Amino acid sequence: MNRKMMRATFGVAMLAMLAACGNAGSEGSIRGMLVTAVKQSAAKAAGKDAAAQPAPDPSAMAAEALRVNPGPLILVGLERMKTTQVMAMTGENAGQRTYMTKNEQALILRGGMLAGTRGLGHDLSVAEMSSSAALIRAGRSGQAQRVMRYWTGDGLERPLTLDCSIGGGPKPGVIVESCRSGALEFQNNYMVQGGRITVSRQWIGPDLGYVTIQELRP
């Protein structure tokens, strides 16, 4: 197995392990997404069973992306949509990176933490989480607040303010951020190495659910 394939395979394994740290009642496990067939639009049109279609191999997908693209790359899994894809960095500004697919779906990351989405529908306009970020990267426990802003149907940006607790997770090396606002609650999981978030499972919003993110090339 070559070095790129080993790195990609390791990343997929880390995503599966990290997803297992989430709440049992969360949006579902990335493990199932990685091992089940992705529903093909062609199969739907033909009335065929989508499960009969060959599933994309995330490890091979990642290794191929590493081969053909020399820039920073992430492997992204949208759990609710049951999709896995590679995103390449298309821009960087003041520590904030934009990663995009060929069809212009994008994630915006700030130090490995999700700061926004574009082109997914029900997008996260921006997330303000500097106090959480400092604790998570340092691997320290504490209390923090984050604000997540969403575009609504009336064209306005609505804020969602959450109180969060940060601490060690059930697996070594995993930091957990548990956030709540009234009846709404979610849990983000981060794997931090040398002060950098390399693997994570983060909540986008009530409509999109969770995204898993694996750094393929920094």
The number of helices, as runs of H, and strands, as runs of E, in the chain is 5, 12
pTM surpassing 0.85?
no
Mean pLDDT to the nearest integer, 33-53: 40
The per-residue pLDDT for 33 is: 33
Distance CA 106, CA 75 (A): 12
Strand partners, 117: 107
Distance CA 185, CA 164 (A): 9
The per-residue pLDDT for 12 is: 53
- Write down the domain spans for the chain: 58-217
Phi, psi of 50 (to 5 degrees): -65, -30
- pLDDT, one tens digit per residue, over 57-116 is 888 989 999 999 999 999 999 999 999 999 999 999 999 999 999 999 999 999 999 999
3-class DSSP state of 91: strand
- CATH fold of 58-217 reads YmcC-like fold (2.40.360)
